[in-house]
Amino acid sequence: MPHNLTEQPARRFWIVRQGPTSRSFHRVGELEAREDGEFRFRYLPDAPTAPNFRPLAAFPELDREYRSDDLFPYFSNRIMSARRPDFDAHLSALGLTREDWTPLELLARSAGGRATDTIQVVSEPVVDDDGLERLVFPVSGVRWIPGASERIARLASDQPLRIRAEPDNPFDCRALLLDAASDEPVGWIPGYLLDYVHKHMERGATVAAFVEQANGPETPSHIRLLCRLEVRPGVERRA
């Protein structure tokens, strides 16, 4: 069955926490899905340095590697149940179908966000044989941009989006806008990806964004638009 996890490609997820007051993002842990079907969770060594850090209730021991033959409930509970009547609509909004969805892909495309905490479950980029890194993510802040929903409704799959720096952003001077056309913003690259994107840009990589899935106004704003980031590492610049 397509949503069986017993035969899965190896995959890693970054566990990212947003500070409750600073609103900055910190990578605190890692979820690994192994080819043999086992799942592992571990904290990163510098996790305790994140502001106001507390271990997740499901994983109280900082120095332990947790292992399970099933996806940990902490993460599976962040995936919409297939028994819900709106599950098919949710799949469609994420660019998936009943035939090709998997819990891990559902988790990756939704980022596992919940209203009850500030944790995001972010898929590591998939790297092809040529070294191209690909990552699909939900675009942030759609509801805060006048006209964004109308622009998104006109977007086509694989349409390039312009990445525009926004140094005057009052919340984050490193913010990166996504434009459908010149000065026609549709949202932002999520804050939890800014370290990754800026790091590659500073190293001279080619970073491009494309429409993965554009949805209508009936879709919740946090998954109104899915974007695909493609990063081709370049030669690191020297000072």
Q: What is the pLDDT of residues 67-120, one digit of tens each?
A: 999 999 999 999 999 999 999 999 999 999 999 899 999 999 999 988 788 899
Any idea what the Cα angle at residue 81 is, between residues 137 and 105, rounded to 5°?
Answer: 30
**Percent of all residues in the chain with a pLDDT value above 70, rounded to a whole number:** 93
Domains with residue ranges and CATH for the chain = 1-124 (no CATH), 125-239 (3.30.70.2330)
Are the beta carbons of 176 and 190 closer than 8 angstroms?
no
Q: Phi first, then psi: what are they for 227, rounded to 5°?
A: -120, 150
| Low-confidence residues in the chain, pLDDT < 70 | 1-8, 21-22, 235-239
Are the beta carbons of 47 and 62 closer than 8 angstroms?
yes
Per-residue model confidence (pLDDT) at position 4: 52
Count of beta carbons in the 10 Å neighbourhood of residue 171: 10
Per-residue model confidence (pLDDT) at position 2: 44
pTM, rounded to two decimals: 0.88
